[in-house]
Amino acid sequence: MNTRCYWLQSLLLIVFLMFCVECIAQGPFVLRNENIEVSFDEKGNLRTLKNMHTGQNYASGKSIWRLYFDNKTRKDNEVFASDNVPEITKIDQHIEIRYPNLIIKGKTVKIALKLRVTLENDQVRFAAEMTNREEHSIVRELQYPLVANCQLPSDHQLLTTWWGGQLYKDPKRQIRAANATFPPYYPPAQYFLQMDQKYPQGLAANCFALVGQNEGLYFGSHDTTFVDTGHGLRLYPSKKFVFDELEAGIYKYPNCLSGQTWQCNANVIAPYMGTWHQTSKLYRTWANSWWIHREEPLWVKQMKGWQRFIMKHQYGETFFPYTDLSTRVKAVGEEVGIDAAFVFGWWKGGMDNDNPNYVADQLQGGEAILKKEIAAFQKNGGKVLWYYNGRLIDKASDYYKKGGGKEVSIRDNTGSEVSDAYRFRGPGTFTGSYDSRTFAVADLRKPKWRQKLFDMADQTIRLGANSVFYDQLGGGDQSSWDLSKEFPIPNMRTIADKASLLKDIHNYIDKKNPELALGIEILTDVTANQADYVHARYGATEVLNPDWEAKGEKPRSTNFVDWFRYTFPEIILSDRDIRDDTDIERRVNHTVLKGLRNDVEIYRCRALIDETPHYQEYLTKINDLKERFKDLLLLGRYTDTMGFQQSSEDIEARRFENGNQAAIVLTQSHLQSATTNLNIPKGYAYVESASVGDAQIQAEKEFIQITIKKHGIVVVVLRKV
C-alpha cells in the first residue's frame, strides 16, 4: 500500500469515526422538521428544544420528568429521572423512553413508565403511560414534560392565564415573589422555589408561555377531560441556596393505584415564532375541537354593563327595599345609559345568608311584589339579572339541618365535611371579625343539588327576570374525595362537572325561554363556553407604579386579560373593582379598549353610581360612545392589536371588526398629550371618528393623525372598499 492510499484510508476512517460519534450523540434520538428540533441523550435527558427559525435552544441537557407516589408509610416519595436508566428507541417522528421499573434511592419499585415524544408540525407532543404494580402504593403526580434550567433570552416574559391573563416581565423574580407569599413551613424551600399555578383553580385556560417580542416557548395541556393540571414554575439552585435555574413544565395527577394503568397524550410544548398572539392561536386551534359556544341573546350582546347592588346584607342591613328596583335603581341606570340591574341579596336571609333558601321577604310583599318590580323595571327595555350562589350551603339553614344539605356536601381526604366562610362587616368590627357565616360546599354531581340549581332557574322564570346567574360556578373547586379505595382519591374533574351541569341548565332554560340568559362568576374556558356572560374577577385597578400619574408614567400592571379576550373573543366578560370616584377615566377607558362590560358596584354594592358623581358623569359619556358604535364595540369581534399599525408606544390601541367594518379604539392617560399616525390598512377607507375627552383627528389618504390629550379616548371607524 503506498503512502497516498494509506493517508486516504486514514482520513476516511477519521471522518467515519467523527460521523459515528455524532450519531451516538444525536442520530437515533433526534426529531427535526423545518420548525422544531428536539433531541435526547442516551440517559433520556433533553439536549435540544430548538426553534429552527432562530436557532434558540431552550433546553440544557437535563431530566424531563419527576414522579411522586404514596405508600403506607410516607407521602410524596420522590422519584428522579436521573436515578433511572431508560431504554430508548426512535421510530420515524417518535422517540420512546421506557423504564420497566423505577429506582428510588437505590431501591426498585414496580412502577413502569413509558414516555413517547412525537414531533408534530408546530409542536412537540409528550405522551405518557404508567402501570403501577407496586403493592400498597398510589402514584399521585407525574411532572412531565419538564424543561429544566430553561435557557431564556433576556426579553422573554412569563404569560399565565390567571383570571384571564397575567404578564410578568421577569419570570424568575416573579417565582421568588410568589414563593415569599407562602405561609410559614409550607414549601420545601431548601430544594426549590415554586410559583403555584393550577388549572382550573384561578387559571382561565390550560396553558402558559414564556414570550418574547418575536418568539417564545408555549406549554399546553390540550386535555379534553379537563382534569386538574399543574403549571410547573420552579427555580432550582445552580449552587447551594442560589435559586437561579428556571424549570418549566406540566404536572398531572394520575392517582394510579396498584394494579392500574394510566395514560395521558395531552401535553405539548411549542417553540414558536411571532408575538404572544401565537400562543392564543395554538390554544384556540386545540379548543376548536370541543368549543361549541351557543349564540347569546341579542340583548346580552348589546348590554353595556350593569348596576350590581345588594338589597339586604348578611348581617341584616337593608340598602335597597324591593320598591327601589323600579324607581331609584331604574332612574339612575337610565341616566347613565345602563339598562341592566344585577340584583344581589334579594331573599329574606340576605346576601350570603341562609343559602340556598332563596325565599322572597313576605314583609316586603314576597314574590308578588318582586315580580311586579321586575316587570316595571323592564319597561323601556330594562333587563334584570337574578342572583344565586351555585355551591354554598349555609350550615345554619333549614336546608342544611333538615333538607338534605349534609348529604350533598363534599368531603375531604378524611371524610370530614369541607367548609367555607364569609365575613362581611357592618359599621362595627365584631360582625366581620367573629360573627361569620359558615358554609358547606355542595358536590355538583349530586342529583339533589343539581335539582336545586334547576329550581333556581324555574324561580327566575316565574319572577320574569331576564337572566339566571350562578355565583362561583365558573372556576375550579375543592375536590370531594372517594374513600372506598385503599387510598383516598380526589375528584380531579370539578371544572368538567361544572361545565356539564351548566350545559344541562342552559338546555333546560332554552326550551322554556330562549331569551333567558345564563350568567356565571369566574372565568374558565370550558365553563365560559356554556354561559352567555361571565362576571370576571378584576379590571384595571391594580398598578405596580401607584404614583404613575404624578410622574407622568404609563401605568404598569401584570393584568393581561388581553390574552383571553383575543383567544375567546365570543365570551362577554365584565370588568370589576371600580367602587368609588377615583381614577375613573383610565379605568373606564380600559373597559372600552378591551371590550369589557361595566360592572358598576359602588362602595361594594352598597350604593348606586349617583353617589359617585364623577364616575356617573364620565360613564354616561362613554356609554353614549358605545351606543353610537355598538355594532363594533359591543357586537363586533375583538382582534386586539392585529390588523392595524400605529406609530406611538404611548398610546394604547385595540381593534374590533364586524362584517365589512372595523373600529380602532385609542387612549392614553399618562401624558398631557400624545400623537400617533394610524395607518389605514390596505383595502380599507376611513369612515368616521368620535372621541370622549380632548382629541384632534386629521384623516389623510393613507393614515390618520390622532392627538389624544390625557385621559382621552378615540374611536376610528374604517370600512372595506
The neighbour count for residue 636, using CB atoms within 10 Å, is 21
Lookup: cell for 201: 383553580
Find how far residue 395's CA is from the centre of its chain: 31
Whether residue 42 has pLDDT greater than 90: yes
- Kindly list the distances between the CA atom of residue 171 and the CA atoms of 58, 155, 240, 504, 556, in Å, as whole numbers in the listed order: 14, 10, 21, 40, 16
What is the arithmetic mean of pLDDT over 216-223? 98
Residues 642 and 664: their CA atoms lie apart, in Å, by 10
* Average pLDDT of span 518-528: 98
Q: Domain ranges for the chain, please list them.
A: 1-29, 33-287, 639-720
Q: What are the residues whose beta carbons fall under 8 Å from the beta carbon of 355, sequence distance 6 or more?
A: 349, 389, 392, 393, 394, 397, 399, 439
Q: In this predicted structure, what is the pLDDT of residue 114?
A: 98
Judged against a pLDDT cut of 80, whether residue 167 lies above it is answered with yes
Same fold across 33-287 and 639-720: no
Please give the Cα distance from 646 to 384 (Å, whole number): 40
E-state strands within 331-466: 340-344, 383-389, 392-394, 419-422, 437-441
Residue with cell 392627538: 707
For residue 14, what pLDDT is reported? 41
d(CA 637, CA 684): 17
Contacts 24+ apart (CB under 8 A), 425-432: 426/313, 426/315, 426/317, 431/315
Contact present, 115 and 97 (Cβ < 8 Å): yes
3-state secondary structure of 174: helix
Residue 537: pLDDT band (50, 70, 90) is confident
Edge-first strand order for the sheet with 46-51 is 30-32, 36-40, 46-51
Q: Any idea what DSSP says for residue 442?
A: B
CATH match of 33-287 with 3.40.50.150? no
Helix (H) or strand (E) holding 332: helix 330-336
Spatial distance between the Cα atoms of 662 and 680, rounded to a whole number of angstroms: 11
Q: Is the dihedral of CA 591, 594, 597, 601 positive or negative?
A: negative
Neighbouring CB atoms inside 10 A of 410's CB total 23
- The DSSP bridge pattern shows strands 340-344 and 305-310 to be parallel
The answer to whether 376 and 330 have CB atoms below 8 angstroms apart is yes
Task: Report the pLDDT value the prediction gives residue 337, as an integer from 0 to 100.
Answer: 98
> Please, are residues 491 and 479 in contact by the beta-carbon 8 Å criterion?
yes
Cα radius of gyration (the chain): 29
* Across 27-41, 119-133, 333-347, least confident range: 27-41
pLDDT for 627 equals: 98
The chain-wide mean pLDDT, for the chain, equals 94
Q: Give the pLDDT confidence score for residue 5 in this predicted structure.
A: 46
DSSP three-state, residue 593: helix
Q: Which of 202, 192, 199, 275 is nearest to 231 (CA)?
A: 199
Whose CA is closest to 534, among 584, 475, 590? 475
Name the nearest CA neighbour of 386 among 447, 325, 477: 325
Confidence of residue 11 (pLDDT cuts 50, 70, 90): very low
Closest to 652 in 3D by CA, of 720, 567, 554: 554
What mean pLDDT comes out for the span 487-506? 98
Q: Using DSSP, state whether 147 is helix, strand or coil.
A: strand
Q: Does domain 639-720 have CATH number 3.40.47.10?
A: no
Identify the residue whose cell numbers are 451516538: 24
**pLDDT value at position 92?**
85
pLDDT more than 90, % of the chain? 90
> Does residue 21 carry a pLDDT above 80?
no
Q: What residue has cell string 359619556?
A: 621
Grid cell digits, residue 659: 362584517
Over range 555-583, report the average pLDDT.
Answer: 96
- How many angstroms separate the Cα of 703 from the Cα of each of 362, 414, 543, 686? 63, 67, 33, 9
- The x, y and z cell numbers of residue 539, run together, are 379590571
Give the tens place of pLDDT for each residue, 589-632. Answer: 999 999 999 999 999 999 999 999 999 999 999 999 999 999 99
* Residue-level pLDDT at 540: 87
3-state SS assignment for residue 549 = helix
Number of H helices, E strands in the chain: 17, 42
228-247 pLDDT tens trace: 999 999 999 999 989 999 99
Whether residue 627 contacts residue 337, with contact meaning beta carbons closer than 8 Å, is answered with yes
Instruction: Return the residue matching grid coordinates 374558565.
Output: 524
Alpha-carbon gap, residue 604 to 319, rounded angstroms: 12
Q: Is the pLDDT of residue 24 over 60?
A: no
Amino acid identity at 516: L
The residues, any chain, with a CB within 8 Å of residue 321's CB and separated by 6 or more, are 311, 364
pLDDT of residue 9: 53
